[in-house]
Structures are given as structure tokens and as C-alpha cells.
């Protein structure tokens, strides 16, 4: 669905730039149709944030996860500023830590802030609360989109807070994942996800 809006808006922008009136006429209503469909099924109006996913079997999964932050950060978001603000404020309350964003809210009964144990246990915990530094990127982009100049200090604090991490296991590296909101590294010591995003 998120790709749908991007795949419908971008070609329309190109068609306008090239003055392709036939293409514009045929597809100009598509972004609004996709947006309305998305908002109808995403949970935004009912729960105040985006459902993690929606499918025919389970319906809406309303777990608080960073997927909703990524939806805000995209260049063609289907949310208005007030909706973006609600999503980011919930993410700030439940997901943001000093080392990145949790993959699941600690308010959720399935939350596991530590990724340890045998392979199966680690795989199960990987997306159940483990902190991912690379998720600062979408959060900070969204935060600046909504709060503008007023959001700069918060973004600086988050990003500059990673300076200590960048010398823990090598020069200018960021570990793949962290435990809970603390300063304990897990996963790969060197990952392009975190370094590339920050």
C-alpha cells in the first residue's frame, strides 16, 4: 500500500513535468483513491496510529512497531501533519531509546528486550523489542518533517548520542542491534544499516 502511493504519485509528477496530459488525465485520481483506502484500513482514524499490518486472516495487528515511523518518513506519505504527529509522538513514547528504536513497544505482552539464547530464541526475539540504531533515520526524518526547526534539537541529541557507540567495537561503526534501551551491544559489531543511515 505504501509503495502504491509512491508508484502513483511519482509517475504523475514526471508526467506533469513532461506535460503528458493523457497520462495525467488517466491516473490523476489514483493517489487519492490509494490514500483513502489506506486510511480506511490502517487503523489511523480508530486507534490514532497505524496498524502494524492488515490481512484477511488476522485483520488489523495494532502492535506499536517502527513500521509506522517509516510510513511517516517517506517522501509521499498518505498522512497529514496531524496524523504524522500522532504517530511520531507514540513512537517517541514507546519506541525511541538512547541507542535507536525498539522493534516492539515494551507495553506489549510479547516484548523481549534482550536477544539471547539459542538460534531459535534469538530469532524469535529479534523483532520483539530489540533496539535497532538504523531506525533513528526514519524517525528523525519524520520528526523534522512534522516539527521543522523546533525538532532540530531532539534530532541532534539522538544522533550525537550515538557518538560513543561509534568507538565501542571499531572506529566509526554502529552495531546491528542493542539490548533494551541500555548501552549493551548485540548482533553484528559492524553493520552498514546503522552506519549508512546515521
pLDDT tens, 54-111?
888 888 889 999 999 999 998 888 899 999 999 999 999 999 998 889 999 999 999 9
Residue 182: the pLDDT is 47
Residues 108 and 127: their CA atoms lie apart, in Å, by 12
Residue 176: the pLDDT is 62
Confidence label for 163 from pLDDT (cuts 50, 70 and 90): confident
| Mean pLDDT, rounded, for 37-48 | 86
To which H or E segment does residue 132 belong?
Answer: strand 131-132
% of the chain beyond a pLDDT of 90: 38
Q: Which residue has the higher pLDDT, 162 or 57?
A: 57
Residues 6 and 50: their CA atoms lie apart, in Å, by 18
Residue 190: the pLDDT is 60
| Mean pLDDT, rounded, for 114-133 | 81
To which H or E segment does residue 54 belong?
Answer: strand 53-55
Mean of pLDDT over the chain: 83
CA distances to 5, 53, 60, 67 from 56, rounded to whole Å, are 21, 10, 9, 19
CA distances to 62, 130, 140 from 58, rounded to whole Å, are 11, 24, 31
Amino acid at each position: 500500500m505504501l509503495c502504491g502511493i509512491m508508484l502513483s504519485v511519482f509517475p504523475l509528477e514526471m508526467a506533469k513535468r513532461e506535460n503528458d496530459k493523457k497520462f495525467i488525465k488517466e491516473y490523476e485520481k489514483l493517489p487519492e483513491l490509494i490514500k483513502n483506502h489506506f486510511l480506511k484500513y490502517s487503523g489511523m482514524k480508530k486507534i490514532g496510529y497505524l496498524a502494524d499490518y492488515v490481512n484477511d486472516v488476522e485483520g488489523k495487528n495494532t502492535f506499536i512497531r517502527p513500521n509506522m515511523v517509516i510510513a511517516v518518513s517517506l517522501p509521499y506519505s498518505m498522512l497529514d501533519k496531524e496524523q504524522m504527529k500522532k504517530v511520531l509522538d507514540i513512537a517517541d513514547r514507546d519506541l525511541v531509546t538512547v541507542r535507536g528504536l525498539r522493534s516492539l513497544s515494551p507495553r506489549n505482552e510479547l516484548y523481549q528486550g534482550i536477544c539471547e539464547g539459542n538460534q531459535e530464541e534469538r530469532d524469535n526475539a529479534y523483532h520483539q523489542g530489540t533496539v535497532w540504531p538504523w531506525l533513528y533515520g526514519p524517525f528523525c526524518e519524520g520528526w523534522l518533517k512534522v516539527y521543522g526547526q523546533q525538532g532540530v534539537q531532539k534530532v541532534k541529541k539522538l544522533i550525537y548520542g550515538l557518538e560513543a557507540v561509534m568507538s565501542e567495537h571499531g572506529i566509526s561503526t554502529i552495531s546491528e542491534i542493542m539490548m533494551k534501551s541500555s548501552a549493551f551491544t548485540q548482533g553484528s559489531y559492524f553493520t552498514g544499516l546503522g552506519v549508512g543511515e546515521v
